[in-house]
Amino acid sequence: MAVAAPAMHHKGPDRTAINRLGLWLFFFSESLIFALLLSSRFFLEGLNIPLKHGSDEQAVDQVLGLAITVILLLSSVTAFTGETAFEHGRKRLGHWMILATIVLGLIFAGGVAYEWKTAHFTRGEAFGTVFFTMTGVHASHVMSGVIMLGLVWVQALRGKYNEKNHWPVSGVVMYWHFVDVVWVFFYPALYLV
Amino acid sequence: MYAATTVLGGTGTGLMGFYLGLGFAMVMRKLFGYPDLWERDLCLSVGYVFGLVGWVLGIGLWGQWAREWFGMKTYANGAQGWQRYFTFCTDHKVIGIQYMVWFVVVFLAAGFMAMLMRVELAQSGMQFFNHDQYNAVMSLHGILMVAVAIAAVIGGFGNYAVPLMIGADDMAFPRLNALTFWLVPPVGIMLLATPFLGGLEAGWTAYPPLAVQTESAQTLFNLALMTFGLVSILGGLNFIVTVIYLRAEGMTWSRLPIFVWAMFLTAILALFYTQGIFVALFMVLLDRIGGMSFFNEANGGDPLLYQHVFWFYSHPAVYIMVLPGFGVALELLTHFSRKPLFAYRYAVGGLIGIVGLSGVVWAHHMFTSGMPNYLHPPFLVATELISIPTGLVFLAGLGTIWMGRVWLQTPMLFALAVLFNFACGGVTGIFLADVPTDIHLQDTYFVVAHFHYTIVGGEIFALFGGIYYWFPKMTGRMYNERLGKIHFWMMFIGFNVTFFIMHLPGIQGMNRRIADYPSEFDNINMVISIAAFFLGSSFLVFFYNIIWSWFRGPAAAANPWRARTLEWQTSSPPPHDNFESPPVIKGHPYDYGVPGSVHATFPMGAAHAPAGGGGGGGGGGGG
Ligand SMILES: [Cu+2]
């Protein structure tokens, strides 16, 4: 993945611009995975969310869904604050904000795992299939983001980054925002329609 | 030995990863309370993923790249000479040759499978294979040739020629490039292993429900192809960034060689649409090993979903195959006609138009699938519309040879054949795009003949033209022109006889993908088989020529074709950084015969091959 900027010495063009374009293209490509899963969800289930057995309550946990969504959006704020902190050389704040993002990401993933454990549908039925696949693919992106944030955090603690040189931080934070934006589409499709 | 330790090391870490994955899967099953720890397809899938990671880490990802992520020093690749080809080498020229050799070998293997199929199909009844074996060989021939068609030109010539042609010293992400190549060997080896691990039943398209229910090596097929998708995506990403950022000074978009344009646009298709096949195969995998119901109608799934997602990629994939072929063909036509490329801007516009339309035509593969009828007209119309931009590209080719001083060397013969073959493939395509005729022709040998005309006729001919064209640059030696021409005429005649005749039983309803057929088709199939063997034997000539010339051929000049594009303005083969001094682009690459025009100068150093020098191929063609 694009965490580590290759330290090749190219004359002329600016390495950070090249890395940034590469990362954007990666998002462009990844977005089709999510778009196809989202389309599959509507192709198979229309606008339905199944009901809990013997009640007229929806089978998804609305409180939990809203809670993890808020947590993920908050983590984008901490990630952004962390990145700008490194840009301005405020390393201590940057360290704490990256750590906060990691913790919020882990809470989100824990929330998804709890939803999986308590779900009122199985993966063998169509809604379960799309629900587990979409949340699973998304959560695996969150977890890979957490791992990359962890690597960046360790390097940051060792003083690797400064105002001039913080592309790995920016790259991972861009990835984190991308994963958040995906959830902005997934959440209504899985919980609200 | 650097090469041996790298490859064996990668194999070792790969195997370690594989067994680690098996163990991990079984431990997880234990933790989640499953009664049986061993579930074949699930455990093998986890093993495959771990094994793949182990392999790329061992081959050089760890030492040359990943250590950096943990704040450690990376190692330099110390291999020299031929050993570079067996290591994690970041030089785009090495990687281009790695792809090219790998895919030519796969091409010959898959071609041999086609020969076996034609042995079985020479007569009705079953002589040589049983039905399962025929299915396995047919599926494998299909998927391996799709892989060759997708990656041989892009991976081989794309990597080799694009940085040279735009005056760059390497790709934008050299280490990503090396990583991408080293994902390829596991794909090939896994696919070639499928006949020994249960065979394949579902063809290269792998439609559910069969692909979900089959007991064959389908899971391995899916994993291998998903890995291959990754190759396409990462490769495409690298090309786009390279062309945008690493063009030499003065190399504006309107001076870009047409092959680079074609590669750039193909890369956009590959980057975006390849995720479609990734998702389609992933959903089959989840149904197979995860107990899900994407395609299980009884539980609310729908097999048509697969066809939509699959063809959403696999129609653009046709253009991932042929656009680079068009690029090579136009490139050759202009150099060997000694004339500017006719209607350059319209040709580029045509390529862009194809890219734009490619994403909205996929359901023409599904006219008989039972999808709603109201979808037929829009997909029919959109499909037929593609003939307009394709026609522009085609006319640019014709206009280029018109009144040109055509120099009929082997590469040019192949480029001319591309025009001829693709015209045939385009005409038969009309019958398949129109709903009424398609319903009759669906799943017959007419379809087989059609797509061989477009892909083999349009791209594989360009691939071989390109191999002869760039062979002196890549190896520093000249191939044997006489053998090259013999190869061309055998291939051209064998190909056209085989596949032209194949339309006829198709029109009469002979089904494809089936090892047996009614005996009234006996005679015509015997003719097709004999022509196919003739076509197959042409590659023996090719193989002999290339191997012999690579080791024993006469040394090639820097610019044997007196071509103007940048890759010929440096030595054969080029130095490590491509050019002795950075080129500055002054004019259009194709202004043959335009007085006083120059494509590039090298202001900082005089030590470069003069444009228009050389002339190793002998005779013909003035300026
Ligand atoms: Cu198509």
Find the CATH number of the domain harbouring A135. 1.20.120.80
Contact A4 B233 (CB under 8 A): no
| Low-confidence stretches of chain B (pLDDT beneath 70) | 605-623
Choose among A42, A60, A38: nearest CA to A51.
A60
Domain presence at residue A25: no
Range of the domain at A158: 59-192
Q: How far is the CA of B452 from the centre of ligand 1 (A)?
A: 13
CA distance B515 to B126: 7
With CA atoms as reference, the chain A residue closest to B270 would be A29
Q: DSSP readout, B552-584? A: HSPBPPS-TT---SGGGSS-SSPPTTS-SS--E
> Looking at residue B623, what is its pLDDT?
30
Judge whether B70 is closer than 8 Å to chain A, CB to CB. yes
Q: Which of A12, A33, A151 sits opposite B279 (nearest CB)?
A: A33
Q: Are the C-beta atoms of B325 and B390 separated by less than 8 Å?
A: no
> Looking at residue B617, what is its pLDDT?
33
CA distance A34 to A26: 13
Q: Is B345 exposed, middle or buried (0-12, 13-18, 19+ CB in 10 A)?
A: exposed
Q: What is the pTM of this model?
A: 0.93
User: CA angle B398-B401-B403, nearest 5°?
Assistant: 120
CA distance B428 to B441: 11
Domain presence at residue A136: yes
| CA distance to partner chain B, nearest, from residue A193 (Å) | 18
CA distance A128 to B268: 34
Q: At what angle do helices B184-193 and B174-182 cross, to 10 degrees?
A: 10
Contact B241 A22 (CB under 8 A): yes
> Looking at residue A164, what is its pLDDT?
86
Peptide bond into B575 cis (omega under 30): no
- Is residue A54 over pLDDT 80? no
CA distance A68 to A62: 10
Contact B237 A13 (CB under 8 A): no
Q: Which two tokens stand for residue B30?
A: 């234990």
Domain presence at residue A150: yes
A153 contacts in chain B (CB < 8 Å)? none
Residue-wise pLDDT for B250-282, tens only, equals 999 999 999 999 999 999 999 999 999 999 999
Query: What is the number of helices (H) and of strands (E) in chain B?
Result: 21, 2
Q: How far is the CA of B444 from the centre of ligand 1 (A)?
A: 16
Q: Are the C-beta atoms of B44 and B82 separated by less than 8 Å?
A: no
Contact B173 A22 (CB under 8 A): yes
Q: Which residue has the tokens 């015509």?
A: B524
CA distance B605 to A132: 61
Partner A, chain B 246-265, Cβ-Cβ below 8 Å: 246
Q: How far is the CA of B314 from the centre of ligand 1 (A)?
A: 7
Domain presence at residue A30: no
A45 contacts in chain B (CB < 8 Å)? 300
Distances (CA, A) of B593 to B337, B596, B622: 11, 9, 9
With CA atoms as reference, the chain B residue closest to A155 would be B71
> Looking at residue B606, what is its pLDDT?
54
Distances (CA, A) of B412 to B111, B465, B533: 24, 7, 25
- Is residue A12 over pLDDT 70? no
What value of ipTM does the predicted structure carry? 0.91
Q: Which of A12, A13, A155 sits opposite B71 (nearest CB)?
A: A155
**A151-155, A162-166, B574-578: range with lowest mean pLDDT:** A162-166
Residue A11's pLDDT band, with cuts at 50, 70 and 90, is low
Residues with Cβ–ion distance below 5 A, ligand 1: B 315
Domain presence at residue A121: yes
Domain presence at residue A5: no
Alpha helices in B122-130 (DSSP H): none
CA distance B385 to B382: 5
| CA distance to partner chain A, nearest, from residue B588 (Å) | 23
Q: Which two tokens stand for residue B206?
A: 């792998």
Size of interface A-B (CB pairs under 8 A): 113
Domain presence at residue A33: no
A123 contacts in chain B (CB < 8 Å)? 290-293
CA distance B509 to B507: 5
User: CA angle B553-B555-B559, nearest 5°?
Assistant: 125
| CA distance to partner chain A, nearest, from residue B623 (Å) | 35
Domain count, chain A: 1
Domains identified in chain B and CATH numbers: 2-70 (no CATH), 90-552 (1.20.210.10)
Domain presence at residue A3: no
Q: DSSP readout, B362-385? A: GGGG-TTTT--GGGHHHHHHHHHH
CA distance B301 to B284: 12
Q: Which two tokens stand for residue B594?
A: 């335009």
Q: Which two tokens stand for residue B105?
A: 């070998």
Q: Which residue has the tokens 């020629």?
A: B161
Residue-wise pLDDT for A82-116, tens only, equals 999 999 989 999 999 999 999 999 999 999 999 99
Dihedral angle, C-alpha A39, A138, A45, A114, nearest 10 ° = -170
Phi-psi region of B562 (alpha: psi -120 to 50; beta: other; left: phi over 0): left
What would you measure as the largest C-alpha separation in chain A, in angstroms? 68
- Tally Cβ neighbours within 10 Å of residue A12: 11
> Looking at residue B3, what is its pLDDT?
85
Q: How far is the CA of A70 from the centre of ligand 1 (A)?
A: 43
What is residue B442's DSSP assignment?
Answer: T
Residue A14's pLDDT band, with cuts at 50, 70 and 90, is confident
CA distance B286 to B301: 13
Distances (CA, A) of B431 to B205, B317, B369, B425, B530: 21, 20, 17, 11, 27
